[in-house]
Amino acid sequence: MARQKKAPQQDAQDTSMGFTPERFEKELKDLASKAKSNTWSNTVFEQVAIYVKTLALLSLLGVYSHASQLALSPVYGSISAATWHSKVVMVGCFIGWAGNLAFRQLLAIKTSQLLPLVAVYVPMMQCFLYRFSQTLGPQYGPLVTEMVTLFPVAILSAASVADSLDGADMSLLPKFLGEAAPGLGSWGTFKLVEHIAEMHLRKHVGTMFWYTRVGIEILLAGSYTLLAPSKYLVLTVPALIHTAMFNPHVSTPTATSLLNDTMLADNWMLLDRRESVTGYISVVENTNSKMRVMRADHSLLGGDWVEWRKEQVVEPVYAVFVTLEAVRLVEREVPLADADAKALVIGLGIGTTPSALVSHGIETTVVEIDPAVYEFAQKHFQLKENQPAVIEDAVKYTTRAANETNQVYDYIVHDVFTGGAEPVNLFTLEFFQNLYTLLKPDGVIVINYAGNLMLPTPKIIVRTILQQFPTCRLFRENPADQKAITESGIDFTNMMIFCRKTEGALTFRPVVKEDCLNSVSRQNFLNPLNEILPQDLFSIGSDEEGILFRNGTDKVSKGQQVNSDGHWAIMRKSLPASLWERW
């Protein structure tokens, strides 16, 4: 049977459904386009993943850097803790960045997986190393501690970042920039995050457990674990048990109870503690002598003798706080009754001076930056008030008050000190100009400065005060021990500077019974003694001309380091080393 010929329409249809060169070429183009699309999307995803991981590692290191400083400050003070800090971080990052290839060959585990193991052990190692703070001292203690804890974290973080960026596409950048960009960009990102972390934690520290010193370190360790989980995490169990059950620095009821059991063996008891904006704040009491004190990092803000508490005022541990009350003894042309007087106190401490002023019937306003200090002064030191306290930075408050209000005071008490050094911004000419504006024409101001009188810093500050207040007299807390000063080259003391706005003599009226408020310490220390003539101060040791301006505070930074070390030694004599080390 003859084969029938297909119709033209049917032949065209069959051809369209079968293989043709045109269709094959079209399918090849579609596959190539799809493959190209998939490759581009994968590449973008891979590059994004690289930069996200890099940013996470740098961010964690930036936060860890500041967390390490927070952890060291209760044991060494913030200034001593910072002495070697930047060098430790810089060298650690350099070693990690330059040696990442060697680490790949030498280590059986990735550096990113090793990071969680090191981070989890940091709180435990810090707790152990604090026990050697008395031996190491404020110069080398922070260095040794951070070399064991922060240094390896910096090395491993930098090495992990270098490993991650090995896969980054730098082809779009110029060759010379492409080689330098990863390192410079990583360091810049780290410094930016470190600065942001410092600003953020300064505002929120202590507001919840994860914003405490150990809480931050635990959170960071957990973040490293999520970033690089591995089977090696089982090795962290001992550190986790120690942190959860035996670390006295963890702000939990269990840790506090354990800490008190240990302290009671040395006749001390922890009454309260809080991490706050000016540092680690705690209240401790000696069970034998009944001396109760408040600390801020490695400094004492004041204290009193509990068994000597009277109905009117407490008996302070330090005589300087009593002598500050002599601001109301300065003679005036027109005598001023206490009931008609107004006082401004910059810096609260335990509230010795403002409580006494209130007890005399003086309307007293306190400006204190730290809410925890204010709360503990009320709770543990019988703070007396007749005006609500202002919880604010003193620079902001006085600037606003001097420029926007008509408020003026008969007495101003300037008493700020923490961590072994003066807050420099509260000793500048600009700050004293605000206080000058807030002081009545016949008013009196007293400024308490604690430091080594052999250094240039006290001279600079006294010159700054004299630049603004024409009539001043200077007194030291204790008589100078010339033999000890000659041998050590150190003369660390509290210096009280009483000033007036007007020219003329500054004299004190005699102390009468009513001034003492039934207080033994006021009977002995209310009248200022141990006067220093300004010319004698300026002739001591090396000299440095000039006054302190807000934009020139660097000139006293070197003196702050020496002051901090001297203050650290004094604090270690005031309380046992074990109390500072256990927080």
Alpha-helical segments (H) within 77-110: 78-81, 85-98, 100-106
**Rounded CA separation 166/188 (Å):** 18
User: Of 193, 222, 247, which residue is a domain's last?
Assistant: 247
Q: Would 125 be classed as within a structural domain?
A: yes
**Rounded CA separation 119/114 (Å):** 9
SS3 274: strand
Q: How confident is residue 413, by pLDDT bands cut at 50, 70 and 90?
A: very high
Strands 409-415 and 439-452: parallel
Mean pLDDT of 487-493: 86
Look at residue 16 and tell me whether its pLDDT is greater than 50.
no
Q: Would 482 be classed as within a structural domain?
A: yes
218-252 pLDDT, tens digit per residue, is 999 999 999 988 899 999 999 999 998 899 999 78
Tell me, what CATH number does 323's domain have?
Answer: 3.40.50.150
**Rounded CA separation 63/71 (Å):** 12
Look at residue 13 and tell me whether its pLDDT is greater than 60.
no
**Rounded CA separation 269/492 (Å):** 29
SS3 labels along 25-39: HHHHHHHHHHHHHHH
Residue 38: the pLDDT is 57
User: Of 247, 263, 278, which residue is a domain's last?
Assistant: 247
One domain for residues 324 and 453? yes
- Give the range of the structural domain holding residue 384, as residue numbers without chain letter: 317-573
Determine which of 72-81, 255-264, 389-398, 461-470 has the lowest per-residue pLDDT on average: 255-264
Cα separations in angstroms, 263 against 247, 250, 285 = 14, 16, 10
Q: Which strand (E) or helix (H) includes residue 298?
A: none
155-198 pLDDT, tens digit per residue, is 999 999 999 988 887 765 566 566 778 888 999 999 999 999 99
Residue 1: the pLDDT is 41
Look at residue 491 and tell me whether its pLDDT is greater than 90.
no
Q: Would 300 be classed as within a structural domain?
A: no
One domain for residues 197 and 325? no
Residue 544: the pLDDT is 56
Q: Would 360 be classed as within a structural domain?
A: yes
Give Cα 87 distance to the centre of its chain: 18
**How many CB atoms are located within 10 Å of the residue 9 CB?**
8
Count the domains in the chain.
2
pTM of the complete model: 0.88
Determine which of 272-276, 353-357, 415-419, 465-469 has the lowest per-residue pLDDT on average: 415-419
Q: Whose CA is closest to 247, among 161, 356, 127, 99?
A: 127
Q: Which strand (E) or helix (H) includes residue 5?
A: none
Tell me, what CATH number does 67's domain have?
Answer: 1.20.1250
**Rounded CA separation 74/296 (Å):** 8
With tokens 């620095």, the residue in question is 249
